[in-house]
Amino acid sequence: MADDSRCPRIVIVGGGAGGLELASRLGDRLGKRGRAEVLLVDASRTHIWKPILHQLAAGSYDSHAEEIEYLAQARWHHFRFRQGRLAGLDREAREILIAPLLDADGREIIAAQRVGYDYLVLAVGSQTNDFGTPGVAEHAIRLDNPDAARRFHERLIDACLRAHNQPVEAGRGRMTVAIIGAGATGVELAAELHAAAQVLVSFGLEHIDPEQDLKIVLVEASQRILAALPERLSTAAAVELRKLAIEIHTNERVVEVTEAGVRMAGGSFIPSTLTVWAAGIKAADFLKEIGGLETNRINQLLVAPTLQTTRDERIFAFGDCAACPNGQGGWVPARAQAAHQQATLLARNIERALAGKPLKSFAFQDYGSLVSLSTYSSVGSLMGSLARGSLFVEGQLAKLMYWGLHKQHQLALSGFTRTLLITLSEWLDRVHRPKIKLH
């Protein structure tokens, strides 16, 4: 049981965009002044902004320039960091169980540990949902984390080298990448891969013609790509993708993934050298009724508008792992801007809880959506700043605004000076590094 004589302990599980931002805010506000002990728990040692995973997969972004070391961030922002995976929750004792940390050879680095809390925040994000489709686990890569993105990139380079040294079969290109799911991740990855292929040719793989030998196929079960976003944005993105000869299949449901390709419900088969699964999301399976908390069918924790879980007011959840009502009969969307807004509110609510004050309710403000189509274009819709409707943007303006979203995330974590230095470093990297990673 938590000891009331000591400094209150706030434990945050999950160092994604929202969790790390919350830990940094609370560390600066409470940890620095000794008003609370803030502990961040994450299975990894570094943080990478999830919306750029498609760039890491294509090799167009250097992960080492983007990674934030949790231990360094903790030192700069007055919180503690513990590496490990959440293995259990004891609500009665107000403790979490952290699984033992093992090295690559299976040897124990840190033993299993029980950590007490006064307030617990679950911000473990989401993962792709394969809906039980046969063959996905064995034959497809899911871009859930940086390790998966790097694994895809290595396979992409290997496939390109292999294709470079083999003859073209009659009527077929040398390689095909099938992307299952045409949400933002799938669409952005398709464009990024096309751009990466253009660069590979300039580095000596002249036998590969990006227009003929690399085939990129997008498969979407809904009636249109980017189904969760405004239709005009979807239409504009589809036009740009077709200009790049990216093949789009909508209203097509995948029923099996094999080593050779993907099979559709209608019986058709798409041969594939590499298959990426980017369709649907769900919260991690270990969250299903963890500690007796209420969850929905995709394992999200149900929370009140204050972001407190429905069965325990000392446990909060936010971001993709939480189902938060939007006040209009629906749910707050699983998007980066929602997690950012929730982290801002939650930092204030935890301070209010420590002071014994009533908590504020979350109200999501939709500022629109932006989708990057690599170096070719960007499309988006802006909302909230206009009295009626939305403002559609595309081209260089949308690209600049998409870049600005990344800078906003870096500012929230690192402040103005460090963000300026990071931006300068990124610019210098572009000058002397290849446009894509070749390893």
What's the whole-number mean pLDDT along residues 238-249?
A: 90
What pLDDT score does 231 carry? 85
- 248 has pLDDT over 90: yes
pLDDT category of residue 405 using cuts at 50, 70 and 90: low
- Beta carbons of 181 and 142 less than 8 angstroms apart: no
Domains present along the chain, CATH in parentheses? 9-126+283-354 (3.50.50.60), 142-279 (3.50.50.60)
What pLDDT score does 230 carry? 81
- φ, ψ for residue 403 (rounded to 5)? -60, -40
Distinct helix (H) and strand (E) counts, the chain: 10, 28
User: What amino acid is encoded at 29 in this protein?
Assistant: R
- Beta carbons of 226 and 184 less than 8 angstroms apart: yes
Q: Which residues are 331's β-sheet partners? A: 325
pTM: 0.83
Residue 103: count other Cβ atoms within 10 Å of its Cβ.
Answer: 8
* Nearest-angstrom CA–CA distance, 13 and 309: 14
Q: Which of 224-228, 255-259, 295-299, 427-431 has the lowest mean pLDDT?
A: 427-431
Closest of 290, 293, 346 to residue 318, by C-alpha: 346
pLDDT category of residue 171 using cuts at 50, 70 and 90: very low
Tokens 């290849």: give the residue: 434
- Using one digit for the tens of pLDDT, what is the confidence trace for 58-86? 776 665 666 889 999 999 999 999 999 99
pLDDT category of residue 1 using cuts at 50, 70 and 90: very low
What is the β-pairing status of strands 37-42 and 80-83?
Answer: parallel
User: What amino acid is encoded at 28 in this protein?
Assistant: D
User: What amino acid is encoded at 11 in this protein?
Assistant: V
Residue 349: count other Cβ atoms within 10 Å of its Cβ.
Answer: 22
pLDDT category of residue 201 using cuts at 50, 70 and 90: low
- 41 has pLDDT over 80: yes
- Using one digit for the tens of pLDDT, what is the confidence trace for 121-159? 999 999 999 999 999 999 999 988 888 888 888 888 777
Q: Which two tokens stand for residue 368?
A: 């629109």
* Nearest-angstrom CA–CA distance, 142 and 135: 12
Tokens 């070719």: give the residue: 376
List of residues 6+ apart from 14 with CB closer than 8 A: 41, 42, 122, 123, 124, 125, 319, 321
What's the whole-number mean pLDDT along residues 326-336?
A: 89
pLDDT category of residue 308 using cuts at 50, 70 and 90: very high
- φ, ψ for residue 432 (rounded to 5)? -110, -5
Q: What's the whole-number average pLDDT of the chain?
A: 83
- 196 has pLDDT over 80: no
- Using one digit for the tens of pLDDT, what is the confidence trace for 355-380? 999 999 999 987 766 677 765 555 55
List of residues 6+ apart from 338 with CB closer than 8 A: 319, 332, 364
- Return the ∠ at Cα 418 (arms to 424 and 192), rounded to 5°: 50
* Nearest-angstrom CA–CA distance, 36 and 377: 46
- Return the ∠ at Cα 151 (arms to 196 and 281), rounded to 5°: 95
- 24 has pLDDT over 50: yes
Q: Which of 43-57, 195-209, 356-370 has the lowest mean pLDDT?
A: 195-209
Question: Could you tell me which residue, 166 or 380, shows the higher pLDDT?
Answer: 166
* Nearest-angstrom CA–CA distance, 387 and 384: 7
What's the whole-number mean pLDDT along residues 75-98?
A: 96
| Total number of residues shown for the chain | 439
